[in-house]
């Protein structure tokens, strides 16, 4: 069984164990991997502000019947299930510290938003959506902590894109990241090097964040769902290769698996946040 199917099957079994009825991607048609309603796929219903984040984005996560977020293997649903809870109870520093952005004694993080865009350059009509953005206080060294979340889609058979040559042609956006620039040229227009990591997407996030805040004012986390076997080993290797490139340019980038994050949260906060921990650990570990 490949990694994508393993994740999908695991989530379908979670639904069956919890007596959650599944439907196809077209309702009565398609593979039955979607919950009948959105709330069945979430730990808590979407907060109005969070719902607004997704409605304003261009990913179409909440459009259609069923919508994309109703898929049990939805990356956006996983991100909401992990992060929205801490926004609702106003304990954002807890999840920021668990993501290893800083230690537990730091309280600078103030808000969490989803599907946030940062423009790279006026020449580009569209800006990529960043899955999760933690906003910090104005006095914080880092203005934002940002998270790129990956679930089953990292292991999809669909080939990911490289860097459009239009980005390479704009010399000014690469001035203080020469190593990423040289690497970007090797995956433009197509990426024949990486199978599971999507470096072109991460580079565009870095460019947008750098344009908005400056190279040293943000931290980027790649939060991914680990599996077993050769696909996991390759994913690990690709992540480590990208970390080396970003480190050479002084970009604050690190990676963590969802499993690592959930285990850390479980060990430290099960007593105080029992229902949340039971849900995320029971479903995603």
**Which residues form the domain of 122?**
3-284
Number of domains present in the structure of the chain: 1
Q: Tokens 């580009």 appear where?
A: 124
Look at the pTM and tell me if it is higher than 0.75.
yes
Mean pLDDT of 249-270: 98
**CB neighbourhood size of 106 (10 A):** 14
Exposed (0-12), middle (13-18) or buried (19+): which is 124, by Cβ within 10 Å?
Answer: middle
pLDDT digits (tens, 9 = 90+) for 30-71: 889 999 999 999 999 999 999 999 999 988 999 999 999 999
pLDDT digits (tens, 9 = 90+) for 159-215: 889 999 999 999 899 999 999 999 999 999 999 999 999 999 999 999 999 999 999
Q: What is the pLDDT confidence band of residue 234, given thresholds at 50, 70 and 90?
A: very high
Is there a contact between 243 and 254 (Cβ–Cβ < 8 Å)? Answer: yes
Strand duo 129-136 + 109-117: pairing: antiparallel
């Amino acid at each position: 069984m490949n990694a994508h199917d393993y994740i999908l099957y695991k989530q379908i079994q979670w639904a069956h164990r919890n007596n959650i009825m599944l439907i196809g991607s077209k309702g009565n048609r398609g593979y039955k991997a979607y919950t009948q309603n959105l709330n069945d796929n979430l730990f808590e219903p979407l907060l109005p502000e969070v719902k607004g984040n997704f409605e304003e984005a261009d990913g179409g996560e909440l459009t259609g019947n069923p919508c994309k977020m109703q898929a049990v293997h939805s990356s956006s649903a996983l991100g909401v299930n992990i992060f929205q809870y801490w926004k609702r109870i106003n304990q954002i520093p807890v999840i920021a510290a668990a993501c290893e952005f800083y230690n537990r004694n730091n309280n600078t993080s103030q808000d969490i938003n989803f599907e946030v865009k940062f423009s790279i350059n006026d020449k580009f009509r569209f800006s990529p959506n960043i899955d999760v953005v933690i906003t910090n206080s104005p006095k914080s060294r880092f203005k934002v902590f940002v998270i790129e979340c990956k679930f089953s889609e990292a292991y999809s058979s669909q080939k990911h894109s490289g860097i459009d040559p239009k980005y390479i042609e704009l010399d000014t956006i690469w001035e203080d990241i020469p190593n990423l620039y040289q690497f970007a040229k090797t995956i433009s227009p197509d990426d024949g090097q990486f199978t599971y990591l999507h470096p072109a997407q991460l580079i565009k996030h870095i460019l947008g964040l750098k344009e908005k805040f400056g190279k040293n004012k943000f931290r980027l986390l790649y939060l991914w769902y680990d599996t077993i076997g050769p696909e996991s080993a390759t994913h690990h290797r690709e992540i480590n290769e990208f970390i080396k490139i970003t480190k050479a340019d002084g970009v604050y980038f690190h990676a963590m698996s969802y499993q690592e994050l959930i285990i850390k949260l479980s060990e430290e906060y099960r007593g105080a946040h029992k229902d949340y921990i039971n849900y995320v650990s029971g479903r995603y570990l």
